[in-house]
Structure 1
Amino acid sequence: MSDSAASEAPNAATSAATAAAAATAATTTVPRPAVAPPEPWSFPVGTTHDLPNGLRLVTYDVPGQYVLSVRLGLPISLRDEPQDREGVATIMARTLDEGTAQHSAEELARLLERKGVSYGAGMSDAGLSVDLDVVKGNLEPALDLLRQILTEPVFPEAEVARQVRTRLAEIEQERSVAAQRAGHEFVRTFYARDDRSSRPTGGAPETVSAITREDVSAFHARHVVASGVTMVVAGDLEGVDVLPLVEATLGGWRQGPSRDRFLQRPAQLAPDRSRIVLVDRPGSVQTELVIGAPGPDRSVDGGWAPYPVIGFVLGGSPNARIDAVLREEKGYTYGIRSSFRPRRAGGLFLTSGSVRADSTAESLRLLVEILDSGRNGFSDKEIRSGVDFISKTAPGRYATADAIADEAISMALDGRTTKFTTANLRDLAAVDRSRADGAYERFADAAGLGRGDTRAAGWTIVLVGDAGDHREAIEGLGLGEVTVVSDAG
């Protein structure tokens, strides 16, 4: 074969292959499907039963979720604690499963493990939460163990003393962690001194160390009753008749007095909260910052939907305004977050995180400027990104039984049902630039931001860092006078 013939053969083969591919494509290509916006998503609908003793049962059937999630929300207020025994609710929550009238702590632990039950309890501003997860086939014995834990705890003296020692050790650890130290100083500065919110949820050393078994038992007897309690069971409930099981176990739980009143009263704010406090921690290589102001609750005029979006835009993601400047442009931080945190009455807007020590004053200046930039409005792109993230991730956030049960209890302790969750997601679709701008303006006006002699008026600012290195530079910003307090508090 000549050289010219040899060179023509591959070209011919290539042309034939190309033609064949084109013919195949012509016969198999279908029109690209149109990408439409997702349909509006609704939170799963629960079934509600009210028991005669005041317990409300809400069930959510989640097919395929064979580990059932059981949650209880007890509207117990931290304000119910005796002031000289603050922390007793936390100690009580931690010792509920340390033995019952029928079983010792060790026996109860073995029974929970044998039945495939995961149990936990904790106290917060919202109330007492009890969590239980169990394989579907063992719901009945798990509920009986839960009944014993709630109604027949014995609070062994040795176990109460152990939990008191543990809590005292935690307090020391919290003092050593800058973020927790800043949080404690913030609430002490932000809330009125005689308001329970100004002091740690788990109590202070002088009150915790005084707690006895008798204190814990008395608090339980008075406050752990069925009235006002919401119980949620979520998971694959096919073939499981939950209501009779709950009636047989918790239906005899003592009703107790009606409870709902205390959660309606907002916390009292300190009249001098608008100031800068620097917790002196010599030698710190980072500075922890917390900046806050009074925020709305979910009943706010104009609807709650704009506020999570505003928090997302300002500091709710790595692409938010704060990180775009302090992390990406300046390299001062690994990340700082902002969010609105509603309580049942009133709420907070908080920004918190740590920065390099050598950038302390500059970071504070930038943070205040970025937060104040909300008064200048938001862009359509920013608002759309926040709306899309919150609304379009909701199906994934609430895809499991435990997430559904947790949301239902969170709403119950806020005096709501998960109908609010669905309604709020619907309302998100109507949040635009104009509505977000108006919501931030109302928040800023209500919080008194910008009213006063300094650019930081209205904000409560707490820093944990080296006062010797940073105080003068912070005062030079013109944001206000700086109060220095001891790291030991």
Structure 2
Amino acid sequence: MTFHPRPEAGPAKPWAFPAPGRGRLPNGLTVLHCHRPGQRVVAVEVNLDAPLDAEAAGLDGVATIMARALSEGTDKHDAEEFAAELERCGATWDAHADHPGVRISLEVPVSRLAKGLALLADALRAPAFADSEVERLVGNRLDEIPHELANPARRASMALSRALFPAQSRLSRPRQGTQETVQGLDAGAVRAFYEAHVRPATATAVIVGDLAGTDLDQILADTLGAWQGGTAPPPPRAPITADDTGRVVVVDRPGAVQTQVLIGRIGADRHDRVWPAQVLGTYCLGGTLTSRLDRVLREEKGYTYGVRAFGRVLRSEPDGSGAAMLAISGSVATDVTGPALADLWTVLRTLKEGGLTDAERDVAVQNLVGVAPLRFETAAAVAGTLADQVEQYLPDDFQARLYARLAETGTVEATAAVVNAFPTDRLVTVLVGDASAIAEPVRALGIGEVTVETG
């Protein structure tokens, strides 16, 4: 039998995260655009400077309802007509609110870009906020809340936020509001939030795709350029403070066969020079199936299907201040909750005493830097990252420089960063599970005071 010779990999091609062009429309809207040959579906991201801190007292969730309502009718189309127009031009739409602000995502074939941007412009310029549509969205949101409370991972996230941040901080409360706050929302509250915070002068549009042969300037002038609005003072943003005194919160779920584990604190965000080393060290700790936590808790002990460590930016400020949530998450069988946490703390202590290995560092660099070209193959991935940079007040070349810095970061530096990120005596641990079975074994570990909440 004759076999064909095995194909060999060709020489590596140089790659860098794409650099966008930047401009500003006469109405004040900032525009970032990036030509990506072959990407015939254009991705558009719009950042609105409407952070959750700007929600009025007792109206948590109004930013989420407003974001969802933007596509529920304009001065030209009612909700059904708007949805039909999006479908006719082959577009997809998504919108959500988070601590930094409201984000709208649109994907549309380049041949229908003008139509897609016209619909986006109408939604930003003159949303209808019809009473019936807002009532429906409020009802939908109220229906979601019981499901979120029943989800162990979501419940753990809520409990960690409440434990870390002071009660008066918006960071301590659910992003999309609670049943008590959402049920009081109406079209008037939604419109008031829109009028106070949505205007072109404080918004940014990111457009990524194959723009060859497209008169983007003219399309923008005819669509988003028609959106008008005045100026306003920056929305309020309270300073980020947190209490990461080592302690354990058990959210009681009687009879639960698994314990959802979420361990966290706040730390440096992307403005801090330690961020690349922190990313690298955290990846070595729990970024993949071959990380140290998985190797011990999953492969050696069989406690879990997987444990992950990560850092997620919470909010950044124009002056370069801000914070990220640094966390470890996973789930374990109820009867091994105590041993699993004991081994997890052992991993953290061993990391401090012995450090990472060069092999771990090399694998992390290969996975984070080497696969970057695949990660950013789509226009949507590039647009989302550029929009994140805008939202976090980072320079346009931040992502490109980050990969260079990751490749330059050594093992010792990565070790120091991850040890500082996860100090064993400054971690808040949330366990969602059967308190009668897990509270006492966890108390015996001595990792902090244990309190029990009803689920």
TM-score normalised by structure 1 residue count? 0.87
Could you tell me how far apart the structure 2 residues matched to 1:248 and 1:373 are?
A: 60
Residues 375-414 of structure 1: CA deviation (Å, up to 9, x unaligned):
2311111111111110011111111111111111011101
Match of 2:443 in 1: 475
**Aligned-pair Cα RMSD in Å:** 2.0
Residues 164 and 211 in structure 1, CA contact (< 8 A), matched pair in contact too? yes
Could you tell me how far apart the structure 2 residues matched to 1:85 and 1:310 are?
A: 39
Match of 1:282 in 2: 254
Residues 66 and 236 in structure 1, CA contact (< 8 A), matched pair in contact too? yes
Question: How far has the Cα of 1:39 moved from its partner?
Answer: 5.7
User: SS at the partner of 1:183?
Assistant: helix
Could you tell me how far apart the structure 2 residues matched to 1:98 and 1:355 are?
A: 42
**Selected match of 1:165 from 129, 139, 163:** 139
Alignment of 1:311-460 (within 5 A): 311-343=282-314, 344=316, 345-376=322-353, 377-443=355-421, 449=423, 456-460=424-428
Residues 459-487 of structure 1: CA deviation (Å, up to 9, x unaligned):
10000111111111111112222100010
Could you tell me how far apart the structure 1 residues matched to 2:447 and 2:9 are?
A: 53
Residues 51-106 of structure 1: CA deviation (Å, up to 9, x unaligned):
23221111111111111111111121101001211100001111111111111111
Could you tell me how far apart the structure 2 residues matched to 1:184 and 1:318 are?
A: 26
Residues 414-446 of structure 1: CA deviation (Å, up to 9, x unaligned):
1124400001111112111122123235445xx
Residues 40 and 426 in structure 1, CA contact (< 8 A), matched pair in contact too? no
Alignment of 1:300-311 (within 5 A): 300-301=272-273, 303-311=274-282
Match of 2:25 in 1: 51
Judged with a 3 Å threshold, the aligned counterparts in structure 2 of structure 1 residues 34 and 347 are, in CA distance, closer, same or farther, namely closer
Judged with a 3 Å threshold, the aligned counterparts in structure 2 of structure 1 residues 459 and 114 are, in CA distance, closer, same or farther, namely same
Could you tell me how far apart the structure 1 residues matched to 2:205 and 2:233 are?
A: 15
Unaligned runs of 5+ in 2: 317-321
Residues 75 and 259 in structure 1, CA contact (< 8 A), matched pair in contact too? no
Residues 16 and 400 in structure 2, CA contact (< 8 A), matched pair in contact too? yes
Question: How far has the Cα of 1:259 moved from its partner?
Answer: 6.4
Unaligned runs of 5+ in 1: 1-20, 22-28, 450-455
Question: How far has the Cα of 1:181 moved from its partner?
Answer: 0.6
Match of 2:319 in 1: none
Judged with a 3 Å threshold, the aligned counterparts in structure 2 of structure 1 residues 120 and 227 are, in CA distance, closer, same or farther, namely same
Confirm or deny that 1:181 pairs with 2:149. no
Confirm or deny that 1:142 pairs with 2:88. no
Residues 108-157 of structure 1: CA deviation (Å, up to 9, x unaligned):
11111112121111111221111111111111121111111111111111
Question: How far has the Cα of 1:159 moved from its partner?
Answer: 1.3
User: SS at the partner of 2:145?
Assistant: helix
Match of 1:103 in 2: 77
Q: Detail structure 1 runs of 4+ shifted over 6 Å in the superposition.
A: 32-36
Judged with a 3 Å threshold, the aligned counterparts in structure 2 of structure 1 residues 102 and 368 are, in CA distance, closer, same or farther, namely same
TM-score normalised by structure 2 residue count? 0.93
**Selected match of 1:208 from 182, 187, 191:** 182
Could you tell me how far apart the structure 2 residues matched to 1:408 and 1:399 are?
A: 14
Judged with a 3 Å threshold, the aligned counterparts in structure 2 of structure 1 residues 347 and 260 are, in CA distance, closer, same or farther, namely farther
Which structure has the larger Rg over C-alpha atoms? Answer: 1
Confirm or deny that 1:296 pairs with 2:268. yes
Letter aligned with residue 151 of structure 1: R
Farther-moved stretch of structure 1 (374-383 vs 277-286): 374-383
User: SS at the partner of 1:84?
Assistant: coil
